[in-house]
A = this chain, B = another copy of it.
Amino acid sequence: MTTHPAPRRPKKILLVSAHPEPRSLNASLSAFAAGHLRAAGHEVSVSDLYAMKWKAVVDADDFPGRDPARRLNVLDDSQRATLDGTLSPDVAAEQEKVRRADAVILQFPLWWFSVPAILKGWIDRVFTAGFAYGPAVPPPYGDGPLAGRRALLSVTYGARESAFSERGIHGRLADVLHPVQHGLFWFTGMTPLDPFAVHGSLDVPPERYARITEAYARRLDGLFTDAPVPFRSLTGGDYDHAMRLVPGTEPPGTTGLDLHTHPRT
């Protein structure tokens, strides 16, 4: 590992890792990232969801203070528990990690074109109303409640790179990850970077792994300085009162999910 001078302003980074096998590529990349960022002087907190036996499923147990006779309303009950400080302790602890973090990294294998269920469960349970969205916090898509935090997806997939390319059959990786990049990160005010992706993950011999960590190191070094995905903001005036992009905002011919990013320069 290369040595780094301590950064002028050490940052706090939350690394969330979601793979069942401690000897997996994903586990290696998590350990690499934690080591690299610590060597650079940052403070890294790791949530290894499988090791933590993270409960994946939102249910009434997440809100122990609620009236059990009432019908469960996930938005209302999660907001009340969040604002009252009565959330399940495992959820409250993860919220505190996110709150303290200057950046959040999610490390996961792409399963069925999305995050594994355990990581979806981390998202579903931690990003409660009153913490990440809802009437009690700043509005979404711009200066949301989690503004000021950078967000990086580090994802592995077995397919060849071309299958997720501009014309690739699976769709562009950015579009496949739109629910997390735009729906979770940008919606809550975070600043998503382009994902770091490892294709062909079923067979990574040592020399290729070395090139992968070299590339990942550069992305980690740029965590706070790389240009983020230029998503448009709701508060910036690009959308009307019905949350539709104002006609003429986009370059002619732009369609689909491309509507929601500023053209890259």
A residues neighboring B (CB under 8 Å): 20-21, 23-24, 50, 56-60, 71-75, 109, 111-118, 120-121, 123-125, 127, 141, 158-160, 162-163, 165-172, 175-176, 178-180, 182-184, 202, 234, 239, 242-245, 247, 253-260
Contact = CB atoms under 8 A, between A and B. Distances in A.
A249 to B, nearest CB: 9
Contacts of A71: 21, 23-24
10 contacts: A21-B74, A57-B118, A58-B117, A167-B247, A169-B244, A170-B182, A170-B243, A171-B182, A175-B257, A257-B257
A151 to B, nearest CB: 14
B183 A113 contact: yes
Contact of A20 (B56, B58, B171, B244): B58
Given A168-B242, A175-B257, 4 more contacts: A20-B57, A75-B202, A117-B118, A170-B182
A259 B167 CA distance: 7
B113 A179 contact: yes
A159 B140 CA distance: 12
A121 B117 contact: yes
B256 A172 contact: yes
Given A117-B56, A117-B120, A171-B182, A74 B20 contact: yes
Contacts of A169: 141, 234, 239, 243-245, 260
Nearest to A140: B169
A253 B256 contact: no
A175 B165 CA distance: 16
Contacts of A256: 171-172, 175, 255-258
Contacts of A116: 57-58, 120, 124
A78 B134 CA distance: 40
A126 to B, nearest CB: 10
